[in-house]
Structure 1
């Protein structure tokens, strides 16, 4: 390659060109932090080892170094002996993380050191550190200011506000969804097991005027069949009052909601504690990716998949009584106007309530 020419003017007398002197380059390796570990550039060529890993991985260090021997023993004891339900009760270990730990133990044996948890699916270095801290300090891990924001997270989805301790102590809930013709409920305990799941039909509401005594008779009859639970979660109707042409439908849904509050929360006057809550419909839809644009789509196919997984997966999201699986599957295969959307929505709402609010 030709070197660039430099124009030189001396005292205004002579113009000539010369080749500038370029200092000799020394052959030495250039280390660059933007390359992978064990990679270097030599003489303009790149040399990289086959087992190269990102440089930031090196800076994370070993998890063993961050904890004392006593703390390491306590963490490993929990990881190796706790059941899936006990692991799910620990902050950040609910859902697939707790089931992944149990599956890893079954396949590879007990955890021998803290670093081995990073080999489990859904675990990375940063989240693993938070999990360890939560195991060691189940109460103090979250500062008071953050704890308030965490406790308010569920309040975005339910009304009225319920004390966190009451939610965490609940053994079972009944999720209730109602429409113009049907009322469905799903009775689910905190182990995510379906205890009861059914619906009732209303025939008289669509015949003539909506008389108060008909509401009382039909809704009271439905409530008498609903099982006892710590909380009753009602679906908050998602129809805006701005749709004036739907005012009769809105009035019907609000009337049913008000009567369910009255009949199911009969003990409120005595103790001052709510047992009946309303949960935002679209919050449940977003939790299960059922929102398209601003509208919520049907959850029937999702529930059918949950029923299938209950008999094919080792750690299903929701458990059904084995003798009722076929019955539930047949109920949700109806077509046209007989599609049991309310039953599907009631079950999805129960799952979302536990996962978003309780756990």
Structure 2
């Protein structure tokens, strides 16, 4: 059991976001979470750990009293077996903090209890408690009752964390774009298509079905399909045709991509609000979302220049799109850029 946990820890690798935060790849986070949960459920004579939010921190400085015996065992196992780079994947243990833990272990041996962390350079009680809470939160996020609040309809977070790949879809009045991203944050396919029948005539059903079925037939197989939730409302009657169009396309995608829903297999098509992605990438202006083209350009350049980029692209995709996207003009490919940002937000909100 302990050996399997060490294997999961050895698989750690990190990458940095555009804001400089050290993140773990989704596949590795999920692996670690599974092993931590398994460890927490197999500690002899102990109940399941309490939720992190229910922990009452002791005010007299005895950190041990803030956690159950099982929680202490989980935390100590991680602190005593992880390497410096692996420890750096925990939010509070980046930079010198992880190096200090490893140095202490080398000089004094493994930590015997949580209070021993106070002997580590720059480790104060409040900081230690935040670090311990972060470690325990890895186990909590895989529990069955945690709902992904950023998607509709509601879905347990653990279902999303088990996904091998997703297809992110964004459609407009004349275009339909999609991107296929796997759990290693690698872009496998990225395309857009003009839909010539959209908004022709009075929303003729058979024309819509022809266009949308043509696109769906080209989509890669994936565990989930994430749609951008239409942001248009009926506050202005002039927008009614556009709103009707967006809702029609959305409804058809839910039907065509959920063929086994009636058999009880569960939803595999979900909608994510456009502003959720905008807030995640900090491209909001007041209550409106701005263009994400420049963010995507930066992500592509990082994939070429940075050793551990936020997102990986296949060589063919880099060659095709690195100098193809334009932040201004008619060839901005906004829908394509939006699909990529939505896929990244999906993974990062699911795991971090």
Question: TM-score scaled by structure 2?
Answer: 0.67
Find the counterpart in structure 2 of residue 8 from structure 1.
Answer: none
Contact kept in structure 1, 2:197 and 2:207, CA below 8 Å: yes
SS in 2 for 1:174: strand
Q: Which runs of 5+ in 1 are unaligned?
A: 1-58
Find the counterpart in structure 1 of residue 78 from structure 2.
Answer: 75
Find the counterpart in structure 2 of residue 255 from structure 1.
Answer: 248
Q: Which runs of 5+ in 2 are unaligned?
A: 1-58, 106-116
Q: Measured at CA, do residues 117 and 167 of structure 1 come closer, stay the same or move farther in structure 2, by a change above 3 Å?
A: farther
SS in 2 for 1:277: strand
Contact kept in structure 2, 1:63 and 1:115, CA below 8 Å: no
> Please, which of 228, 239, 244 is the counterpart of residue 237 of structure 2?
244
Find the counterpart in structure 2 of residue 277 from structure 1.
Answer: 270
Alpha-carbon displacement from aligned partner over 1:24-49 (angstroms, at most 9, x marks no partner): xxxxxxxxxxxxxxxxxxxxxxxxxx
Find the counterpart in structure 2 of residue 333 from structure 1.
Answer: 326
Question: Aligned-residue CA RMSD in angstroms?
Answer: 3.7
Contact kept in structure 2, 1:75 and 1:136, CA below 8 Å: no
SS in 1 for 2:189: strand
Contact kept in structure 2, 1:79 and 1:111, CA below 8 Å: no
Contact kept in structure 1, 2:167 and 2:181, CA below 8 Å: yes
SS in 2 for 1:255: helix
Find the counterpart in structure 2 of residue 342 from structure 1.
Answer: 335
> Please, which of 289, 295, 298 is the counterpart of residue 288 of structure 2?
295
Distance in 1 separating the partners of 2:96 and 2:207: 52
Alpha-carbon displacement from aligned partner over 1:297-352 (angstroms, at most 9, x marks no partner): 10000111111112222332212123421312233127422320001111111111
Contact kept in structure 1, 2:75 and 2:132, CA below 8 Å: no
Count of aligned positions: 279
Does residue 1:204 correspond to 2:207, yes or no?
A: no
Contact kept in structure 2, 1:310 and 1:319, CA below 8 Å: yes
Question: TM-score scaled by structure 1?
Answer: 0.66
Find the counterpart in structure 2 of residue 131 from structure 1.
Answer: 131
Q: Measured at CA, do residues 224 and 348 of structure 1 come closer, stay the same or move farther in structure 2, by a change above 3 Å?
A: same
Q: Using the TM superposition, give the Cα deviation of residue 219 of structure 1 relative to its aligned residue in structure 2, in angstroms.
A: 0.5
- Equivalent runs, 1:139-218 vs 2, <5 Å: 139=139, 151-152=146-147, 154-155=148-149, 157-218=150-211
Q: Measured at CA, do residues 136 and 260 of structure 1 come closer, stay the same or move farther in structure 2, by a change above 3 Å?
A: closer
Alpha-carbon displacement from aligned partner over 1:237-295 (angstroms, at most 9, x marks no partner): 11112121011011111111001101011111112400000111111111111111221
SS in 2 for 1:261: helix
- Higher Rg: 1
Does residue 1:221 correspond to 2:214, yes or no?
A: yes
